[in-house]
Amino acid sequence: MIDKQNRIKIAIQKSGRLTDLSLDLLQRCGLKYTRGKDQLIAFGENMPIDILLVRDDDIPALVRDDVCDLGIAGLNVVEEKRLRFLNSSTTGEPFEIVRQLDYGQCKLCFAYPEGGKLGSIEDLRGLRIATTYPWIVADFLRTRSIEAEVIEFSGAVEIAPGMGRAEAICDLVSTGTTLRANNLREGETLMKSQATLIRTPLEVPDEKADWMARLLQRIDGVMQVRESKYIMMHAPKSALAEIRKLLPGSEAPTILPLDSLDDKVAVHVVCRENVFWETLENLKAAGASSLLVMPVEKMLP
């Protein structure tokens, strides 16, 4: 029987830029789940973890209110809600930021009508800025001592200047397509964002805490292997020092003897960065041969 109390609930975006990548992360952590069409909850089959699929803007509150133990949302959403919640509560931090997950990169930017006279935030004094991130924007303007009116929109911020509701906007930019389609030019960046894991600030029961720790360790493993490569090569003993210097982001390599070759050894090493052709060419020039680069499937530090 499923013991609901001891199951971890993790909230992720229902449909949007982080949905597939978040589900992919959980799958890579070993989670198998069933999800019916249009179902807002997916039950984990092999781990006591259930996934709630919700609007990204709702994720921080679900974690604050202890409806969910964990949540994944863009740092922009997390920070906006954090500022908002802190302002309306005396109970301190509404959630803890646990990890930046290294996907869903985008940035929160000011944008100005194409061909207009606005070119930088200095030009915004006394004007109106439409945004779905009023707390972040107000905070930013305060630190720059710029007095402007921040107008909260719940969506479709891009159309505000055209409708005469604001002179500029502040919104999330990923590819820039939305800005271009709406005749807006990208301005200053207020913050860079990426998928962010948050957790409840409350203590959780031991059994749950154990699974949370396991999940986190697996997430770390998944993040590490994304770029990691396993490199194998033959190398003259005399060139080992030089070759080690050329290996990107690697730990101590494993050196193995080669049958009937006294002056050469086999070098095996995990590199935690992408390995480019240039690196291989440089290794070859340093004396390495039989170079082989393989993706790493799983890693447990």
Binding ligand PRP by CB under 6 A: which of 4, 177, 205, 301? Answer: 177
Q: How far is the CB of 168 from ligand PRP (least distance, A)?
A: 15
Tell me whether residue 177 or residue 260 sits nearer to ligand PRP (CB atom): 177
Per-residue HEC secondary structure of the chain comes to: CCCHHHCEEEEEECCCCCHHHHHHHHHHCCCCEECCCCCCEEEECCCCEEEEEECHHHHHHHHHCCCCCEEEEEHHHHHHHHHHHHHHCCCCCCCEEEEECCCCCEEEEEEEECCCCCCCHHHHCCCEEEECCHHHHHHHHHHCCCCCEEEECCCCHHHCCCCCCCCEEEEEECCCHHHHHCCEEEEEEEEEECEEEEECCCCCCHHHHHHHHHHHHHHHHHHHHHHCEEEEEEEEHHHHHHHHHHCCCECCCEEEEECCEEEEEEEEEEECCCCCHHHHHHHHHCCCEEEEEEECCCCCC
- The interface region with Zn ion, picked from 1-9, 53-61, 236-244, 263-271 by CB under 5 A, is 53-61
Q: Is 79 in the site for Zn ion (CB under 5 A)?
A: no
Looking at the Cβ atoms of 174 and 217, the one nearer to ligand PRP is 174
Measured from the CB atom, is 157 or 247 closer to Zn ion? 157
Provide the minimum distance between the beta carbon of 56 and Zn ion in the complex, in angstroms, as a whole number.
4
Smallest gap from Cβ 287 to Zn ion, in A, equals 54
C-beta of 14 vs 234, nearer to ligand PRP: 14
Options 59, 109, 173, 288; binder of ligand PRP; rule CB under 6 A: 173
16 near ligand PRP, rule: CB under 6 A: yes
Q: Is 56 one of the binding residues for Zn ion (CB under 5 A)?
A: yes
Instruction: Give the residue, chosen from 15, 174, 238, 290, that forms a contact with ligand PRP under the rule CB under 6 A.
Output: 174
**For ligand PRP, which residue of 6, 19, 105, 178 counts as binding (CB under 6 A)?**
178
Smaller CB separation from Zn ion, 56 or 167:
56
What residues from 50 to 109 belong to the interface with ligand PRP (CB under 6 A)?
56
Using CB under 6 A as the binding rule, the residues of this chain from 143 to 162 that contact ligand PRP are: 155
